[in-house]
Amino acid sequence: MNRFGKGRLNLSKSNIFTAASILFFVLLLSCFLIGIQSISKSSVEKQKQSLETALQRDIVHCYAVEGTYPPSLEYIKAHYGLTYNEDLFFVDYQPIGANLMPDVTIIERKTKE
């Protein structure tokens, strides 16, 4: 037989089984990674929602107790115990006045993937 010519492709059952096993493993790994990514995204959304709720609660609580809205985000952290992951979220706190509800915006920071 000529080694440069086309020969018959030798497809034995063990070769087909090995290829099918590798394909199945890659498919299973892909499904697993997609699931982990989905859970991670859902977790971040829940954290953001929880932060929004905590901020609103602390702002209203401050107004009820002190008669004015908090002057800054640092004030809320110091006096009302607000904690959050500052690497994950950026909080823009803009006080408008002593008797006007401040404008609060929470932005998710981009994480390295």
Domain parsing of the chain, residue ranges: 13-108
**Which range is most confident: 5-9, 37-41, 97-101?**
97-101
pTM greater than 0.95 (yes/no): no
Which of these, 59, 62, 50, lies nearest to 88 by C-alpha position?
Answer: 50
Cβ-Cβ contacts under 8 Å for 97 (sequence gap 6 or more): 69
Task: Give the pLDDT of residue 111.
Answer: 66
Q: Which amino acid is at 112?
A: K
- Inform me whether the pLDDT recorded for 104 exceeds 80: yes
Residue 44 is predicted with a pLDDT of 87
> Closest Cα partner for 51 from 95, 92, 17?
92
Give me the amino acid identity at 108: E
Q: Is 112 helix (H, G, I), strand (E, B) or coil?
A: coil
